[in-house]
Amino acid sequence: MQVPAPIAYERATSLSNAIELLSRHGPESRIIAGGHSLLPMMKLRLARPEVVIDINDLAELDYIRANSDHLQIGAMVRHASLMNSDIANRYFPIFREAETVIADPIVRNRGTVGGSLCQADPAEDLAAVFAALKASVVITGNNGSRTVPISSFHIGPYMTVVEPDELLTEVIVPLRTHVGSAYEKVERRAGDWGIASVGAMIVLNSGQISEAGIGLAAVRADHFRAVEAESFLLGKQPTADVIAQAALIASENCQPVADQRGPEDYKRHLVKELTTRALNRAIDKAREEGT
Ligand SMILES: Cc1cc2nc3c(=O)[nH]c(=O)nc-3n(C[C@H](O)[C@H](O)[C@H](O)COP(=O)(O)OP(=O)(O)OC[C@H]3O[C@@H](n4cnc5c(N)ncnc54)[C@H](O)[C@@H]3O)c2cc1C
């Protein structure tokens, strides 16, 4: 089925108007941002909203800015804007590395950060990126805004803690010094979803790992994170043996399933290899910053 069911269409003029429209139309309404996930699902009748609320006019949600402590990314930032953002990539080159391998220019020109996170596809690359960076998200509704750690945001495949009358409005990434980050992904062909993807963030302090973030996509890691591997790295010198052990732990603490993208053992092998590569490159970048 390639034609969506009939829908009503609303075009929000502001954030408060979008919230008002969500409240007025109730749980059968859905936000549409880039539409790259929602529209295909509507065409396949996997999603059947009665009303779509278009938030493409909400320039107030399209910004990337840094203050002394945080990088703030509005929900309507397009993949292409994040990929090309000097400010975001100056702090975290993981953004450009991940965005370069997300889909194709057509999807990247239209798809948004908020839409990607709210779609909550188990293979979503930005979910792994923000998990590695230990970001938080701001969710806004009639009762104001609440801030939720990304580790509590996804509650299952295609499910998040965003309520029907709320929007995701911002992603907040804490800034660090002596930090490095990197992204690794293997896909069947350019622009495809990952068979396995790994994001890494490392902070070095006097040569030791003082903070580690490892995000995994497409391999059913709880909340897109390799928590056990992160804990293992803390306080250690980043030697080859330590990195190899962390990568092994990451590959053992996810639950990939066999599908058309490959068997389970192949995906675990990829997690081990990609975690090793991402950690090594993140560590190199952290060293370049000095410790
Ligand atoms: C051909 C193709 C290839 C792709 N390849 C990849 C890939 O390799 N890696 C990858 O990670 N992704 C990939 N994607 C997915 C794509 O990056 C994202 O799914 C897409 O950009 C989602 O963003 P959107 O703005 O289009 O969301 P939409 O389709 O507009 O919305 C998606 C969902 O999020 C909700 N939503 C959107 N914005 C908000 C908000 N601010 N608050 C609350 N709810 C909201 C909508 O109601 C809907 O349920 C691919 C997509 C396509 C079509």
Residue 31 has pLDDT above 80, yes or no: yes
On whether residue 193 sits in a domain, the answer given is yes
Q: Provide mean pLDDT across the span 44-65.
A: 96
Indicate the average pLDDT of the chain: 96
The whole-number average pLDDT for the span 50-60 is 97
What CATH number corresponds to the domain at position 33?
A: 3.30.43.10
224 and 259 together in one domain: yes
Q: Which atom of ligand 1 is nearest to the CA of 168?
A: 42
Size of the chain in residues: 291
Q: Out of 174, 207, 222, pick the residue that ends a domain.
A: 174
Could you tell me if the CB of 199 is within 6 A of ligand 1?
no
- Do 259 and 273 sit in the same domain of this protein? yes
- 68 within some domain: yes
Q: Is the pLDDT of residue 53 over 90?
A: yes
Q: 224 and 251 in one domain?
A: yes
Are 170 and 137 within 8 A, CB to CB? yes
Q: 113 and 93, same structural domain?
A: yes
Residue 167 pLDDT > 90, yes or no?
A: yes
Q: 168 alpha carbon to ligand 1 midpoint, in Å?
A: 13
Closest C-alpha to 198, from 212, 211, 208: 212
* 1 located within any domain: no
Same domain, 187 and 267: yes
Q: How far is the CA of 120 from the centre of ligand 1 (A)?
A: 8
Confidence of residue 97 (pLDDT cuts 50, 70, 90): very high
In the chain, how many domains are there?
3
Distance CA 54, CA 231 (A): 41
What is the model's pLDDT at position 291?
A: 56
- Inform me whether the pLDDT recorded for 187 exceeds 80: yes
Range name among 9-18, 70-79, 186-195, 238-247 with the lowest pLDDT average: 186-195
Residues 46, 47, 50: CA angle, nearest 5 degrees: 145
Position 40 in a domain: yes
Q: Identity (one letter) of the amino acid at 56?
A: N
pLDDT digits (tens, 9 = 90+) for 210-227: 999 999 999 999 999 999
pLDDT of residue 3: 81
Domain that includes residue 19, residue range:
8-54
Confidence at residue 2, expressed as pLDDT on a 0 to 100 scale: 76
Is residue 2 domain-resident? no
Distance (Å, rounded) from C-alpha 110 to C-alpha 152? 27
Asked whether residue 156 falls in the same domain as residue 75, the answer is: yes
- Same domain assignment for residues 191 and 250: yes
Reported as a pLDDT band with limits 50, 70 and 90, residue 191 is confident
CA of 155 to the centre of ligand 1 (A): 17
Region 177-196 average pLDDT: 96
Mean pLDDT, range 44-48, rounded to an integer? 91
Q: Are residues 159 and 67 in the same domain?
A: yes
Residue at 189 is within a domain: yes
CA of 97 to the centre of ligand 1 (A): 18
Instruction: Find out whether 229 and 199 touch, Cβ atoms under 8 Å.
Output: no
Which residue has the least CA distance to atom 33 on ligand 1? 119
162 shares a domain with 129:
yes
Q: For residue 262, is it within any domain?
A: yes
Domain boundary among 23, 38, 54: 54
Nearest-atom index, ligand 1, CA of 36: 26
Question: What is the average per-residue pLDDT within 126-147?
Answer: 97
Q: What pLDDT is stored for residue 96 in this prediction?
A: 98
The answer to whether residues 125 and 92 belong to one domain is yes
Q: Are residues 167 and 65 in the same domain?
A: yes
In the Cβ-directed half-sphere of 207, how many Cα atoms lie within 13 Å? 2
Instruction: Give pTM, 2 decimals.
Output: 0.96
> Where does the pLDDT of residue 268 fall: very low under 50, low under 70, confident under 90, or very high at 90 and above?
very high
Q: What is residue 237's predicted lDDT score, i.e. its pLDDT? A: 97
| Site to substitute for ligand 1 among 2, 25, 38, most atoms within 8 A of C-beta | 38
Q: Give me the DSSP letters along 211-250.
A: EEEEEEESS--GGGB-HHHHHHHTT----HHHHHHHHHHH
**Which pLDDT score, from 0 to 100, does residue 1 have?**
60
pLDDT at 183 over 80: yes
Residues 84 and 169 occupy one common structural domain: yes
Is residue 103 within 6 Å of ligand 1 at its C-beta?
A: yes
pLDDT for res 131:
98
CATH code, 166: 3.30.465.10
* Rounded distance from Cα 74 to ligand 1 centre (Å): 15
- Is 3 domain-assigned? no
CATH number at residue 260: 3.30.390.50
- Specify the amino acid at residue 165: D
